[in-house]
């Protein structure tokens, strides 16, 4: 009997193993059929019904669960949310995640991060996904850069730090692996590092990617969204840490390529592209400002009606910023300002009183005015700042100022940030608009009183604007109650200090904080520009008559800044409006 058992054992095991393999294949085939049926589910209840069917028949596996999560995310993006469905699927995460590979983990992460509303525990769930992916990668080191890009994008979109994930993604950016990426992978990876605030790692990734993709034969493979997202990401990184030579060249080349393909961009793409280009140019990078503006302007006008208020405001801010940097861009805008108001002689039912060929500034402002009720504080502040910065006062600009002045309750002043309050007041004070802004200014002042403190730039711009607008009673408390002693003033930039001392001169303030401002500026005298020296000297001359005898020395000896505090006396009161230009900082984040 023992001999028979020994002989039969291998045969029995082979038969048993074969049966198990057949059963497993049948289960996989059956689960695969259920997975295929998901594409025909058009309601959350259909998805959950199919999942319950799989659970009841023991055909549920990780792939089917991941596909169900992806389908439910798509349905929610179409406006069909279901918290009960998410509770069921996310409750199965602990058991299902163990069965997933890199591709399914990336699919699930992207699906969850795209949800507009947190279904409950999203960050905890994503951290579990990232943890499983990193554990798999630690075993076999086989996770592709593409899957890393998708996981990093998900972390950035959901605002999950995931430091270790980004470190692994950055380390995987060797030239050999980077060559396997397509343009969408490149743009997603850069966007993720920029959005997630991993700036040091992001600049390293930009340099590595630039080495592989900054070539004439690679750039045409970038789509319009890839180009816009890449420029946006590069600009966001540059606001914190400047790219090196290869990264700068790559950003310049891809922006120049965008000018050649300007007809392909979506409204959101134009917003990201202009914001990124203007931000990079303001940081000193050599960008194709004129070519991009000339190529894209007609297309922006044609899609202006489809722009969101944020998109329109961001393009306005960008054009205004570029006009101050590039004389050629400024010339184009000045030409538009000169030609504004030329109304078509022939009127139509839908075009009476409008320009026959409105320029880009007018077209964008027209959209802001038309959608003013849906604008947030940043949209309004950036639009006003841009108009005042370039001195534009066309029909839509006048309409914007009038609407804000006549009905300030129509805009969310109570939600303005300190920066938005400051830039709005600066624009009103700086513009050539001749209306009465008092109702709007009072609303903004009431909002400012609700802040515990203002940052350095917002404080200096706000008190300057209030002084110019004649609101002495609002400016004085801000100057007196902001704790502007010598220690606190050390953190102020030079421009803000000069603006504050000019405001003291305009309001005739010789007490605090004026003495502390004088001492702080004296310590930085050699750092001041000639225009800043002039403004400070005029203020001192107005408040301290003993400086009168040395007025000429101030204007002739800017190369010796220390003379400023030995006795300078130009006239008080002028040159203040051009001293500071606000600090609008819009966001143009891709969906």
Please report whether residue 369 resides in a domain. Answer: no
Over residues 390-415, mean pLDDT = 92
Please report whether residue 188 resides in a domain. Answer: no
Q: In the structure, what pLDDT confidence band is assigned to residue 372 with cuts at 50, 70 and 90?
A: very high
Say what the pLDDT of residue 18 is.
45
pLDDT higher than 70, residue 103: yes
Q: In the structure, what pLDDT confidence band is assigned to residue 457 with cuts at 50, 70 and 90?
A: very high
Please report whether residue 94 resides in a domain. Answer: yes
Point out which residues pair with 355 in neighbouring strands.
Answer: 343
- Which residue, of 130, 159, 188, is where some domain finishes? 159
Over residues 315-328, mean pLDDT = 89
Q: Of 194, 202, 124, whose CA–CA distance to 167 is shortest?
A: 202
Over residues 226-242, mean pLDDT = 95
For a pLDDT cut of 70, what percent of the chain falls above it? 80
Please report whether residue 506 resides in a domain. Answer: yes
Q: How many domains are contained in the chain? A: 2
- Give dist(CA 489, CA 460) in Å, integer: 11
- Which residue, of 99, 127, 159, is where some domain finishes? 159
Q: Which residue has the higher pLDDT, 79 or 297?
A: 297
- Which residue, of 128, 159, 190, is where some domain finishes? 159
Do residues 154 and 110 touch, judged by C-beta distance below 8 A? Answer: yes
Say what the pLDDT of residue 509 is.
87
Say what the pLDDT of residue 547 is.
54
pTM value? 0.80
pLDDT higher than 70, residue 545: no
- Give dist(CA 274, CA 295) in Å, integer: 12
Please report whether residue 530 resides in a domain. Answer: yes
What is the phi-psi region of residue 284: left when phi exceeds 0, alpha when psi lies from -120 to 50, beta otherwise? left
Structural domain boundaries enclosing 119? 28-159
Q: In the structure, what pLDDT confidence band is assigned to residue 444 with cuts at 50, 70 and 90?
A: very high
Q: Specify the range with the lowest mean pLDDT, choosing from 320-324, 356-360, 529-533, 536-540.
A: 356-360
Please report whether residue 350 resides in a domain. Answer: no
Say what the pLDDT of residue 24 is.
40
Q: Of 517, 495, 497, whose CA–CA distance to 581 is shortest?
A: 495
Q: In the structure, what pLDDT confidence band is assigned to residue 338 with cuts at 50, 70 and 90?
A: low
Structural tokens at position 270? 């134009």
For a pLDDT cut of 90, what percent of the chain falls above it? 47
Over residues 426-442, mean pLDDT = 94
Say what the pLDDT of residue 408 is.
86
Say what the pLDDT of residue 503 is.
92
> How many angstroms from the chain centroid is the CA of residue 278?
12
Say what the pLDDT of residue 177 is.
60
Say what the pLDDT of residue 86 is.
77
Please report whether residue 53 resides in a domain. Answer: yes
pLDDT higher than 80, residue 483: no
Over residues 163-183, mean pLDDT = 79
Q: In the structure, what pLDDT confidence band is assigned to residue 179 with cuts at 50, 70 and 90?
A: low
Cβ-based neighbours of 307, under 8 Å, separated by 6 or more: 267, 270, 271, 315, 364, 367
3-class SS shares of the chain: helix, strand, coil, % to 5: 70, 0, 30
pLDDT higher than 90, residue 365: yes
Over residues 324-341, mean pLDDT = 67
SS3 state at 343: strand
Over residues 108-121, mean pLDDT = 84
- Give dist(CA 492, CA 185) in Å, integer: 41
Average pLDDT, the chain: 81
Say what the pLDDT of residue 453 is.
87
pLDDT higher than 80, residue 271: yes
Q: Which residue has the higher pLDDT, 11 or 306?
A: 306
Most confident residue range from 274-278, 322-326, 583-587:
274-278
What is the phi-psi region of residue 582: left when phi exceeds 0, alpha when psi lies from -120 to 50, beta otherwise? left
Residue 290: Cβ-neighbour burial (10 angstroms; 0-12, 13-18, 19+):
middle
The H or E element that residue 493 is part of is: none
The H or E element that residue 41 is part of is: none
Please report whether residue 552 resides in a domain. Answer: yes
Over residues 251-269, mean pLDDT = 94
Q: Of 364, 239, 231, 238, whose CA–CA distance to 310 is shortest?
A: 364
Helix pair 102-113, 145-157: axis angle to 10 deg: 20
């Amino acid at each position: 009997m023992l001999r028979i058992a020994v002989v039969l054992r291998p045969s029995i095991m082979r038969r048993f193993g074969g049966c198990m393999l057949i059963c497993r294949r049948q289960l996989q085939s059956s689960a695969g059929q259920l997975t295929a049926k998901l594409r025909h589910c058009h309601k959350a209840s259909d998805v959950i019904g199919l999942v319950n069917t799989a659970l009841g028949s023991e055909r549920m596996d990780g792939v089917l669960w991941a596909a169900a999560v992806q389908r439910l995310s798509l349905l929610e993006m179409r406006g069909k949310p279901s918290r009960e469905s998410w509770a069921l699927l996310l409750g199965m995460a602990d058991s299902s995640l163990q069965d997933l590979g890199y591709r399914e983990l990336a699919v699930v992460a992207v699906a969850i991060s795209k949800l507009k509303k947190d279904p409950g525990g999203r960050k905890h769930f994503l951290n579990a996904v990232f943890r499983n992916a990193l554990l798999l990668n630690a075993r076999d080191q086989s996770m592709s850069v593409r899957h890393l890009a998708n996981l990093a994008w998900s972390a950035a979109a959901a605002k999950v730090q995931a430091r270790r994930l980004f470190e692994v993604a950055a380390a995987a950016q060797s030239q050999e692996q980077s060559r396997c990426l397509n343009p969408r992978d490149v743009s997603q990876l850069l966007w993720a590092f920029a959005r997630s605030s991993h700036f040091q790692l992001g600049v390293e990734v930009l340099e590595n990617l630039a080495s592989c993709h900054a070539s004439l034969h690679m750039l045409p493979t970038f789509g319009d969204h890839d180009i816009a997202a890449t420029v946006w990401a590069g600009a966001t990184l540059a606001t914190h840490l400047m790219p090196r030579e290869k990264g700068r060249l790559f950003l310049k080349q891809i922006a120049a390529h965008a000018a050649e393909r300007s007809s392909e961009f979506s409204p959101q793409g134009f917003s990201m592209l202009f914001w990124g280009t203007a931000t990079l140019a303001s940081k000193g990078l050599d960008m194709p400002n004129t070519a991009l503006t000339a190529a894209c302007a007609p297309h922006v006008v044609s899609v202006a009606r489809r722009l969101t208020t944020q998109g329109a405001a961001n393009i306005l801010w960008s054009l205004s910023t570029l006009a101050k940097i590039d004389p050629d861009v400024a010339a184009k805008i000045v030409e538009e300002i000169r030609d504004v108001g030329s109304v078509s002689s022939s009127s139509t039912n839908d075009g009476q009183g409008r320009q026959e060929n409105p320029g880009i500034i007018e077209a964008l402002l027209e959209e802001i005015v038309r959608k003013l009720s849906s604008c947030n504080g940043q949209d309004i502040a950036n639009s006003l700042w841009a108009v005042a910065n370039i001195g534009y006062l066309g029909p839509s600009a006048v309409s914007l100022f009038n609407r804000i002045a006549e009905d300030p309750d129509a805009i969310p002043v109570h939600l303005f940030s300190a920066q938005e309050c400051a830039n709005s007041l600066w624009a009103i004070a700086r513009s050539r608009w001749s209306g009465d802004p008092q109702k709007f200014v009072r609303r903004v002042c009431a909002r400012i009183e609700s802040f515990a403190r203002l940052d350095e730039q917002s404080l200096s711009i706000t008190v300057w604007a209030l002084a110019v607008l004649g609101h002495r009673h609002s400016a004085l408390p801000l100057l007196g109650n902001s704790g502007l002693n010598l220690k606190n003033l050390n953190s102020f930039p030079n421009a803000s200090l000069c603006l504050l001392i000019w405001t003291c001169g305009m309001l005739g303030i010789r007490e605090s904080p004026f003495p502390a401002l004088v001492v702080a500026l004296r310590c930085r005298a050699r750092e001041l520009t000639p225009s800043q020296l002039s403004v400070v000297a005029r203020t001192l001359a107005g408040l301290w008559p003993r400086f009168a005898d040395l007025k000429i020395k101030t204007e002739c000896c800017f190369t010796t800044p220390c003379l400023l505090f030995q006795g300078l006396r130009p006239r008080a009161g002028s040159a203040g409006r051009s001293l500071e230009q606000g600090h609008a900082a819009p966001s143009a984040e891709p969906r």
